Amino acid sequence: MIKTPNKKYILAIDLGTSGPKVCIISTDFDVVGTEFEPIDLKLFDGGGAEQDPNQWWRAIKTATKRLISNGFVHVEDIEAISVTAQWSGTVAVDEQGKALMDSIIWMDSRGASEIERITDGIVKIEGYSITKIFSWMNITGGAPGHSGKDPIAHILYIKKEKPEVYKQTYKFLEPKDYVNLILTGEFVSTPETMCLHWVMDNRDINNIEYHPKLLKWTGIERDKLPDLAKPIDIIGTLKKEIAEQLGLKVGIKVFGGTADVQAAAIGTGAVRDYEAGLCFGTSSFLTCHIPHKATDVFHNMASLPSALEGKYFVANEQETAAVCLQFLKNNVFFAKDILDTDAADEDIIEKLTELAATISPGCEGLIFTPWLYGERTPIEDHNVRGGWHNLSLHMTRAHMIRAVMEGVAFNARWLLKYVETSKFVPSAYRPFKFINFIGGGAKSALWCQVLADILQRPIQQINEPRHANAKGVAALAMIGLGYIDVEGIAEKTIIDKIYKPNKALKGLYDKMFEEFINIYKSNKGIYKRLNKKK
């Protein structure tokens, strides 16, 4: 079906860890069409996690061509392209824009020892030199994470372990900036995307720049990092050869865009100060826009620049969320091994949640810890691992499924506990009046209710929750084009359903949450001994 020709549209590219979603979104905030193309993930011993940037582009090209060929809109009515992508990744490119190696992505922790080196000192707090940590917190709002998963750790790992690649690198780019480079030929990023390099001066929210002292501490040359533009700025136009490959018109405006966490924070519709948004995708994050800079060094959280001009947002991330259910499907129930059958189908996740609904809240004491690849917040521990605790012989896989859903919710509650503090959210706004819920997990009515019961907060299920990132980054282009303002984003966000907490379950879940935390406290030494790198 061809849409009315006088309508205008944004092509939003959302490059996730599992692959890119490409969406056509109208300036009325409607998702007109979408396509997805899967990509591979390479995991290595020692905490390595990489993806092939060339495969990213092939997947984006395939998905975009398929979407355009569906004829949902006139190509002439696509006014702009806006890109979001997995945050905290590193692509080393030469002066011609060619990737010199696979991208090190947000899950990679191989640079942890380099972060320990640059943050070391005689007198330390939480493993950081006192002098350095207070300078970092004052200038940036945070500091490089000792997990080694920030881009600065990736770059230092390359510098130490792959010196020839480091030497040949013209720019180190975040994933969304690499995609923008292909589209426009411009080596450029945006301040809020570069924040996790921990070399940005964020003290003046309207004038964010690289900081010479922090660059010196890290040992990274300024010339190897991209120049900066705003997320709502036009950074270039679509190159002729790329337009031909994608089936688009030449000269379409390409905006700066933003990373996935910031895009999702906008896509939740919770864009007013002290409103909360929660995402369950591969990872999970609980976000909140605030008007000031704050840091909780003890729980690895900080307020960093938002993609919305003049705003900060509480930045945090838990490494594995809805992917835990995918893990259960792929690695336990329907693993591709000698016991493989044809039992799995496209609706298997829905069937898993139907099974989970047959088990009563609390899973008869079964607890799942969703730390399948370490954790960032509210504890930073790349050694911690997941598992089911208190399994009994009479329990079924239905118990295991519900425990996964509850365990991910307990992890979100752990984070909520520290986001709702005076450092970030004034007492007048606590507890959050509601939490907007997005991501693949938000499609599940059961998960929405489990969250409401465990968090004891109303959960607002956002319409089309899987496309919140794309909507968020499309909104930035719409702001840049003058179609919408920040308040308009909130007004146009559709709530499908509100799930209210069951007060009768509060005592049960309070007790189980306490034991969830105790599992970590009691076992963190074991995790360290089993998983510490040699």
Q: What is the pLDDT of residue 337?
A: 45
Output the CA torsion sign for 383, 385, 389, 394: negative
Q: What is the pLDDT of residue 119?
A: 93
Dihedrals phi, psi of 289, to nearest 5 degrees? -80, 135
| 252 and 79 Cβ atoms separated by less than 8 Å | yes
Q: What is the pLDDT of residue 5?
A: 46
Q: What is the pLDDT of residue 407?
A: 96
Beta strands 78-85 and 9-15: pairing type? Answer: parallel
**pLDDT exceeds cutoff 90 at 496:** yes
CB atoms within 10 A of CB 516: 22
* Top-confidence residue, 305 or 320: 305
**At 146, which amino acid appears?**
H
User: Roughly how many angstroms between the first and final C-alpha of the chain, as a whole number?
Assistant: 59
> Mind spelling out the 3-state secondary structure of 39-104?
CCCEEECCCEEEECHHHHHHHHHHHHHHHHHCCCCCHHHEEEEEEEECCCCEEEECCCCCECCCEE
Report pLDDT digits (tens) over 118-161: 999 887 787 889 989 889 989 998 899 888 999 999 999 999 99
Residue among 444, 461, 456 nearest 507 (CA): 456
Beta strands 295-296 and 209-210: pairing type? Answer: unpaired
| Cα within 13 Å of Cα(69), Cβ side | 10
Q: What is the pLDDT of residue 335?
A: 53
Please compute the mean of the pLDDT values over residues 312-320 and round it to a whole number. Answer: 76
Q: What is the pLDDT of residue 3?
A: 42
Q: Is 473 exposed, middle or buried (0-12, 13-18, 19+ CB in 10 A)?
A: buried
In 261-317, which ranges are E strands? 276-280, 284-290, 295-296, 301-305, 312-315
Structure tokens at 292: 């000031």
CB atoms within 10 A of CB 55: 16
Instruction: Tell me the sheet residues that pair with 83.
Output: 13
Q: Which residue matches tokens 């997995």?
A: 86
Please compute the mean of the pLDDT values over residues 62-73 and round it to a whole number. Answer: 96
Of 41-55, 98-112, 119-133, 461-475, the range with the lowest mean pLDDT is 119-133
Q: How far apart, in Å, are the Cα atoms of 284 and each of 125, 317, 468?
A: 27, 6, 13
Residue among 304, 261, 285, 259 nearest 137 (CA): 304
Dihedrals phi, psi of 304, to nearest 5 degrees? -120, 165
Q: What is the pLDDT of residue 217?
A: 95
For a pLDDT cut of 90, what percent of the chain falls above it? 73
**pLDDT exceeds cutoff 70 at 32:** yes
Of 44-48, 93-97, 298-302, 311-315, the range with the lowest mean pLDDT is 298-302
Of 61-75, 186-200, 235-249, 271-285, the range with the lowest mean pLDDT is 271-285
Please compute the mean of the pLDDT values over residues 526-532 and round it to a whole number. Answer: 90
Residue among 252, 243, 143, 268 nearest 202 (CA): 143
**pLDDT exceeds cutoff 50 at 1:** no
Q: Which residue matches tokens 């917190």?
A: 137
Report pLDDT digits (tens) over 250-278: 999 999 999 999 999 999 999 999 999 88
Please compute the mean of the pLDDT values over residues 330-347 and round it to a whole number. Answer: 54
Average predicted confidence (pLDDT) for the chain: 91
Please compute the mean of the pLDDT values over residues 425-450 and round it to a whole number. Answer: 92
Tell me the Ramachandran region of residue 46: left when phi exceeds 0, alpha when psi lies from -120 to 50, beta otherwise.
left
If pLDDT is split at 50, 70 and 90, which confidence band does 192 have? very high
If pLDDT is split at 50, 70 and 90, which confidence band does 530 have? very high
Q: What is the pLDDT of residue 345?
A: 44
Report pLDDT digits (tens) over 350-407: 888 888 999 999 999 999 999 988 888 888 888 899 999 998 888 888 899 999 999 9
Of 56-60, 350-354, 387-391, 484-488, the range with the lowest mean pLDDT is 350-354
